[in-house]
Amino acid sequence: MVIVMKPNTPADELEKLEKKLRSLGFDIDFSQGANYTILGLIGDTTLINVQQLQAHTYVDRVLRVQHPFKRVSRHFHPEDTVIDINGCKVGNGNIIMIAGPCAVESKEQLLTIANHVKRSGADLLRGGAYKPRTSPYSFQGLEEEGLKILLEAKRSTGMPIVTECISDDTVDLVADYADVIQIGARNMQNFALLKKVGQTDKVILLKRGMSATIEEFLMAAEYILAAGNHKVILCERGIRTYETYTRNTLDISSIVAIKELSHLPIICDPSHAAGKWEMVEPLAKAAIAAGADGLMIEVHHQPELALSDGAQSLKPEKYTHLVQAVKQIHSIKSYV
């Protein structure tokens, strides 16, 4: 349930209402706009007398939220959430460019790529230190050594780092190094992990599960917000369908739907959606045109030698071209 207060409601009246609602067993999520305050009630609201609430002098209107997700809902928080990552802002018209290799393979490899993508206009550096792989025989990542290399690249380039955490027992370790903790598609419904990262103060990049509905995706984000962390960026990375020509099917419509349903920013990962480097730029352009708040692109200077996902990685010069193209689309979209 959402209670919209009238403009300029006195602070003491707001406090009285909040105290009364909490005494009834509700958690309350506040959203403060320029001319309004919204109280989002978390709990069983079926027994609340809506007419009595609406009779309150300073209550403008009362709305029941039909979606099972509450805190991520735009009803609870009408204005777009803007997340600041060391000065890089995500959401509400800002776009962020995240780029780097699928996996950290060596210090030389990461620093080479990091410097390339920095010059091309990337804001954040991505790289996997822990790699959840379909095959147990595939490269699993350098683990903490990979985190140390990422930190060295951050110090060298000034770019904040994004890296994946794959288990709740490594959250604290990853948080010591990362600016943004990524929860991958395979872990979208790892609820113990979601609760754990929800207890950190790090920005969380949550990827959509490969078979997840939009509602399931937003419910996963709800776990993180419910644990106390509201700094969540969603990431559409394609879903599994009957089509086998591409690695996954990029669901552009999810970007539009989530913008309608939620206040959280959403970016797109066309690399994992396509699985083919030549399709990455067209899909990236489509995502920005549809309203995505940014892109996460896999880049490798020697993709033919990459230990992970070389087929979908752009060479640095192609990434440079992509950045220029999507920024043009974004500027035109902003003007329109």
Domain tally, the chain: 2
Query: Is residue 211 helix, strand or coil?
Result: coil
* 328 occurs within a structural domain: yes
* 78 occurs within a structural domain: no
Quote the pLDDT of residue 335.
Answer: 62
* 74 occurs within a structural domain: no
Burial per residue of 48-76, b for 16 or more beta-carbon CB atoms within 10 angstroms, e otherwise: beeeebeebebbeebeebebebbbbbbbb
pLDDT digits (tens, 9 = 90+) for 6-29: 988 898 999 999 999 999 899 998
- 175, 227: one domain: yes
- 56, 88: one domain: no
User: What CATH number is given to the structural domain containing 128?
Assistant: 3.20.20.70
Tokens 């409601």 belong to residue: 9
Contact 268, 296 (CB under 8 A): yes
pLDDT digits (tens, 9 = 90+) for 300-321: 999 999 999 999 999 999 999 9
pLDDT digits (tens, 9 = 90+) for 221-246: 999 999 999 999 999 999 999 999 99
pLDDT digits (tens, 9 = 90+) for 28-45: 988 887 777 899 998 888
User: What CATH number is given to the structural domain containing 27?
Assistant: 3.30.70.1140
- 58, 120: one domain: no
* 295 occurs within a structural domain: yes
* 70 occurs within a structural domain: no
Predicted model pTM: 0.92
- 57, 98: one domain: no
- 316, 173: one domain: yes
Q: Which domain holds residue 144?
A: 83-335
- 148, 272: one domain: yes
In residues, how long is the chain? 336
Contact 263, 273 (CB under 8 A): no
- 32, 168: one domain: no
- 193, 253: one domain: yes
Name which of 318, 311, 302, 278 is nearest 113 in CA terms.
Answer: 302
Angle of helix 252-261 relative to helix 277-290, nearest 10 degrees, comes to 30
Alpha-carbon dihedral 243, 289, 181, 191, rounded to 10 degrees = -50
